[in-house]
């Protein structure tokens, strides 16, 4: 087993949802490891071609500029790695959960909604503005996916140091969330349209307490939902919308994705170094070779395999040198 397979096994043991289990199982079976070792193999080959040119250029069997042939291949590999990296958040969402933050002014009904979603009495609900201070988080299984829902302190201007710290935490939770549910008390806003002001693309506006007041909003306002935590009206629809959003952040069939920050950091180093090698057309070949070596080392750290000395093997198998 390589390191990613061991990590996959550990994730499998800890998995709470079907999506986590599926991803962890694939990783434990070596899906991610074989993707990376395939890349490592290509890099070893490229480096061997460069080294052959450097070390054995006086041999007849090695044509000049043999290394030129590898750069288009390395460019293609680089594109593939970048595409893989751009999907990293998806892999992390499956493993660590899709984050939803409940944000809004005090008394908007955030804690009531949390309790309705969790179907139990998790957070304190009261008609006193500023009830919630700390972030209250519940872990839910929605359609086989792990979802972390965070109830936060109501946002308003305040003099109270503790409430201010709570508000800071609310804003941070909103920033880190994959979906922000912006709650507005329907009995406290003028019109539905007025309430949509300042709603960002990864957020959804919820007009709460629909049992007390039903606001009219046009068909254009598809990002607005009317809910009541008290009667449960609109909650099904909200759940459907949440599933939709998760679906947009779901891995494709058989898609192997980085699942940990560790993978992402090494992949970034690998891409940065390989890029320097590929675009450095005017650099001495020794320098480009060194960048490739750094890239291969970073990649090798993900799987735990850095096969440095395979180079000679590749050179001897491809060229008739030293015989």
Ligand X SMILES: Nc1nc2c(ncn2[C@@H]2O[C@H](COP(=O)(O)OP(=O)(O)OP(=O)(O)O)[C@@H](O)[C@H]2O)c(=O)[nH]1
Which residues of the chain form contacts with Mg ion (CB under 5 A)?
Answer: 110-111, 131-132
Q: What residue number has its CB nearest to ligand X?
A: 154
The one segment of 44-52, 53-61, 129-137, 292-300 that binds ligand X by CB under 6 A: 129-137
8-state DSSP, 304 = T
From 101-109, 235-243, 288-296, 307-315, give the range in contact with ligand X by CB under 6 A.
101-109
Tell me which of 109, 145, 292, 300 binds ligand X, using CB under 6 A: 109
Q: Is 226 in the site for ligand X (CB under 6 A)?
A: no
Residue 4's contacts (CB-CB under 8 Å, 6 or more residues apart) are: 27, 30, 32, 33, 36, 263, 302, 303
- Per the structure block, which two tokens stand in for 148? 């972390």
**Tokens 């500023």 — which residue?**
130
Helix/strand/coil for 41 = helix
Rounded CA separation 121/111 (Å): 9
Decide: 294 and 266 in contact? Cβ < 8 Å.
no
Based on the shown chain and the rule CB under 6 A, indicate whether residue 131 belongs to the binding site for ligand X: yes
Q: Does residue number 300 form part of the binding site for ligand X (CB under 6 A)?
A: no
Q: Give whichever of 20 and 226 is closer to ligand X, judged by the CB atom.
A: 226
- Alpha helical stretches, state H, 105-160: 110-118
Q: Which of 37, 44, 107, 150 binds ligand X (CB under 6 A)?
A: 107
Please name every residue paired with 78 in a beta bridge, in sequence order, or none if there are none. Answer: none
Q: What is the CA radius of gyration of the chain?
A: 27
Q: In whole angstroms, what is the distance from residue 264 CA to residue 284 CA?
A: 29
Taking CB under 6 A as the criterion, the residue among 78, 125, 138, 215 binding ligand X is: 125
Which partner, Mg ion, ligand X, none, binds residue 288 by CB below 5 to 8 Å per kind?
Answer: none
Rounded to whole angstroms, the Cα distance separating 263 from 82 reads: 13
Residue 97 interacts with, from Mg ion, ligand X, none (CB under 5-8 Å by kind):
none
Nearer to Mg ion, 44 or 107 (CB): 107
Calculate ∠ Cα 109-112-118, nearest 5°: 140
Total of chain residues touching ligand X, rule CB under 6 A:
24
In angstroms, give the least distance from the CB of 151 to ligand X.
7
By beta-carbon proximity to ligand X, the closer residue of 203 and 297 is: 203
Nearer to Mg ion, 111 or 259 (CB): 111
- Give the closest residue to 97 by CA, choosing from 171, 9, 178: 178
Cβ at position 147, least distance to ligand X in Å: 19
Cβ neighbours of 78 (radius 10 Å): 18
At its nearest, how many Å lie between ligand X and the CB of residue 199? Answer: 17
* Window 167 to 206, contacts with ligand X (CB under 6 A): none
Q: Which of 279, 307, 312 minimizes the C-alpha distance to 293?
A: 307
CB of 106 to Mg ion, least distance (A): 8
- Least distance (Å) from Mg ion to the CB of residue 208? 12
How many CB atoms are located within 10 Å of the residue 135 CB?
17
What's the closest the beta carbon of residue 153 comes to ligand X, in angstroms?
A: 6
| Binding of residue 162 to ligand X (CB under 6 A) | no
Residues that bind ligand X (CB under 6 A): 104, 106-112, 125-127, 129-132, 153-154, 208-209, 211-212, 228-230
């Amino acid at each position: 087993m390589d390191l990613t397979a061991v990590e996959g096994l550990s994730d499998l043991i800890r998995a709470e949802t079907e999506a986590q289990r599926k991803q962890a199982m694939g990783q434990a079976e070596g899906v991610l490891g074989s993707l990376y070792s395939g890349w490592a193999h290509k890099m070893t080959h490229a480096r061997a071609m460069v080294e052959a040119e450097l070390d054995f250029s006086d041999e007849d069997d090695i044509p000049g500029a043999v290394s030129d042939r590898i750069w288009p291949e390395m460019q293609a590999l680089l594109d593939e790695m970048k595409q893989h990296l751009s999907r990293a958040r998806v892999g992390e969402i499956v493993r660590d959960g899709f984050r939803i933050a409940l944000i809004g002014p005090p008394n908007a009904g955030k804690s009531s909604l949390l309790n309705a979603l969790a179907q139990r009495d998790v957070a304190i609900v009261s008609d006193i503005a500023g009830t919630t201070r700390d972030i209250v988080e519940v872990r839910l299984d929605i359609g086989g996916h792990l979802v972390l829902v965070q109830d936060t302190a109501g946002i308003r201007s305040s003099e109270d140091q503790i409430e201010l710290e709570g508000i800071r935490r609310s804003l941070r939770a909103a920033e880190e969330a994959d979906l922000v549910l912006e709650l507005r008390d329907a009995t406290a806003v003028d019109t539905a349209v007025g309430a949509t002001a300042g709603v960002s693309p990864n957020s959804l506006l919820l007009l709460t307490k629909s049992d007390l007041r039903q606001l009219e909003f046009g068909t254009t306002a598809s990002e607005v939902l009317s809910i009541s935590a008290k009667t449960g009206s609109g909650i099904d629809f909200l759940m459907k919308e949440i599933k939709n959003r998760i679906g947009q952040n779901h891995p494709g069939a058989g898609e192997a994705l980085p699942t940990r920050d560790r993978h992402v950091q090494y992949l970034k180093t690998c891409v940065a170094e390989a890029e320097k090698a590929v675009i450095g057309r005017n650099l001495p070949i020794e320098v480009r070779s060194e960048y490739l070596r750094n890239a291969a080392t970073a990649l090798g750290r993900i799987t735990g395999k850095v096969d440095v000395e395979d180079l000679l093997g590749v050179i001897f198998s491809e060229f008739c040198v030293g015989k």
